[in-house]
Amino acid sequence: MNKIKQIKKTNENYRKYHIYGRPNYIKRPKNYVRFNAHNSKQHEMVKASVCYDILSKGHEFITEACENSTGKIRDIVDITNNEIIEIETTKARASRHGSNITVKMV
Q: What is the mean pLDDT of the chain?
A: 92
Q: What is the pLDDT of residue 7?
A: 94
Q: Which helix (H) or strand (E) holds 78?
A: strand 73-78
| DSSP code, position 45 | H
Q: pLDDT class for 1, splitting at 50, 70, 90?
A: low
CB of 84 closer than 8 Å to CB of 74: yes
Where exactly are the structural domains of the chain?
Answer: 3-105
CB atoms within 10 A of CB 87: 23
Distance CA 44, CA 40 (A): 6
Segment 47-81, tens digit of pLDDT: 999 999 999 999 999 999 999 999 999 999 999 99
What is the average pLDDT across 35-55? 94
